[in-house]
Amino acid sequence: MNTLKIYGPPGTGKTHELLRLLREELLHVRPDRIAFMTFTRAARREALLRTDRDEGALPYLRTIHSLCYRALRLARGQVVGAADLRRFGRTIGMRLTGRTNVIGEELFEKVWQPPAIGDLFLQLHHLCRHREVALEAVGHDAPPNVRMPELRFFDANYEAWKRREGLLDYTDLLRLYLEEGDRLGVGFGAYDPAAPQAPGNIHLDASSNKRTWKNADYWVEQAQQVA
């Protein structure tokens, strides 16, 4: 397999180059043999716009969570939704709106603007799991209204609640795919990660995307510039 990494600081055209390579491959490779994965939905929408293709024309142009969801053949009711989160919040006496995007770029850019304290705790929970670090490591970077005993309480109860209800969240999809997901039968793969300007922030999604393209002939991704 041939591998290409595109290095550069923010704003230097890494994503533009990824999309140029994607358009080039579309000239001579079947769309169902091409995977273009993004971390955020916004990046996926941009890729569809730049390729001038309909949503159904590129079956593997998806967020990495969506690809894992489809590969695992899960039903919608198996994945934690906003109503589920509100219900969980009531069981522990903590407000959760379920409206916070826990897998957006803001998760890694420390843009803490959730509508409720439970939503903030959920963001920190996902950030901890994506970085694959101890809960205390993300707690140190959290806003001053976050107390570690409360964050630990939320974290333990959230995991126990998911097990009782038989539910998976977006981060669980990545872990489960790593353990048992099928690899994609593609010849060309590309990955546009979240917040490349924050090196070391993302471990779990990087491991998951490597499993999806293991059989690809050609792989390209962008990365933080190394000084």
CATH number, domain at 199?
3.40.50.300
Total domains in the chain come to 2
Phi, psi of 176, deg, nearest 5: -65, -40
In this structure, the answer to whether residues 47 and 90 fall within a common structural domain is: no
Mean pLDDT highest for which of 9-23, 33-47, 115-129, 156-170? 156-170
In this structure, the answer to whether residues 86 and 154 fall within a common structural domain is: yes
pLDDT value for 6: 75
In this structure, the answer to whether residues 90 and 148 fall within a common structural domain is: yes
Whether 15 is in a domain gets the answer: yes
Handedness of CA 56, 171, 180, 80 (dihedral sign): negative
Lowest-pLDDT range of 43-47, 84-88, 193-197: 193-197
> What value does the mean pLDDT of the chain take?
80
In this structure, the answer to whether residues 25 and 50 fall within a common structural domain is: yes
Span 175-193, mean pLDDT?
Answer: 80
In this structure, the answer to whether residues 157 and 98 fall within a common structural domain is: yes
Whether 124 is in a domain gets the answer: yes
Looking at per-residue pLDDT, the higher value among 15 and 157 belongs to 157
In this structure, the answer to whether residues 147 and 205 fall within a common structural domain is: no
The span from the CA of 194 to the CA of 209, in Å, is 13
Adjacency order of strands within the sheet including 188-192? 2-7, 218-223, 188-192, 34-38, 61-63
Whether 2 is in a domain gets the answer: no
Mean pLDDT highest for which of 129-143, 146-160, 183-197? 146-160
In this structure, the answer to whether residues 103 and 146 fall within a common structural domain is: yes
In this structure, the answer to whether residues 92 and 141 fall within a common structural domain is: yes
pLDDT value for 204: 53
At which of 139, 167, 195 does a domain end? 167
Whether 11 is in a domain gets the answer: yes
pLDDT value for 159: 97
Whether 1 is in a domain gets the answer: no
Whether 158 is in a domain gets the answer: yes
Instruction: Reduce the DSSP state of residue 5 to 3 states and report it.
Output: strand
Span 13-33, mean pLDDT?
Answer: 87
pLDDT value for 141: 78
Whether 175 is in a domain gets the answer: no
In this structure, the answer to whether residues 48 and 66 fall within a common structural domain is: yes
Q: Note down the domain range covering 124.
A: 80-167
In this structure, the answer to whether residues 37 and 107 fall within a common structural domain is: no
User: Exposure of 28 by Cβ count < 10 A (0-12 exposed, 13-18 middle, 19+ buried)?
Assistant: exposed
Whether 85 is in a domain gets the answer: yes
Task: Report pTM.
Answer: 0.76
In this structure, the answer to whether residues 45 and 114 fall within a common structural domain is: no
